[in-house]
Structure 1
Amino acid sequence: MECLLDHIALNVEDDDRMLQFYTEILELPSERLSAYRAGKVPFASVRLNSNTIIDLFPKTLWGKQPGQQRGLLNHLCMAVSKSQWQALHERLLEYQVAIETGPVPRWGAHGQGISIYFRDPEGTLLEARYYEAKSQDRECLLDS
């Protein structure tokens, strides 16, 4: 079976701060933001690509549900073009977002890429990567 990733839902504490990070620093377009601000929908989202969004669940959605908590997501990786990656790297530095790791070579869905790792305002580890070309190398570099 081959699937497309539809969405990722993040439980967030400060939705305004998270929306600002994802829309201004990462430059992802918001989805349903006006409807969310007007109270017509329970959460806003940001769009990664034509197939995938990140839902930002405010604490009112998850804070009172038994068994619901933050955590368990190791990291989220976004593949972008090299020029977008370079521009993002510059914005992260401009906004004083710490680069935790990288640039480093890492294995991903399209082979070997170059990645940087950083966190959003609530601590979710994000990876931004670009691929120079389609890699035929199948060596996994998770431990590197």
Structure 2
Amino acid sequence: MAAPGPRPGGGEVTAVRVREFDHLVLNVEDVERSLAFYCGVLGLEPVRVEQWRGGRIAFPSVRVTPDTIIDLVRRDRGESNVDHICLVVDPLDWHEVVDSGVFTVLEGPVGRYGARGEAVSLYVQDPDRNTVELRWYPADA
């Protein structure tokens, strides 16, 4: 959980409370090879594979638990293998979080698909410049 921080005009920003881990995005050289490993060898459930093979979405996923997936994104070797992590947070005022200055905001809030379907996400950097997606599912409101 992030502690409240100062707001540019004074006062505090509402605390961001993490509820659970949503997904991990892995950069892989060969998506089909990774699907064979995660689904065939490890026995994970494929998610949206046919939509990906049909060119309707950018990448497939594999399901780890009912609420957690791993996205498999094609990237050339030499780049980081982990693109970002995603944490589900309690509903909050996104604009207040963005305007607070507590986070280095990379993108958002934007609509995105995740382990439990469509949601609203804000992409921020941690102190080591790793990308962290903070996600809120409207059904949790």
TM-score scaled to structure 1, two decimals? 0.42
Q: Which has the higher helix share?
A: 1
- Give the number of the structure with larger relative contact order, counting CA–CA contacts within 8 Å between residues 6 or more apart: 2
Scaled by the length of structure 2, what TM-score is found?
Answer: 0.43
More strand by share: 2
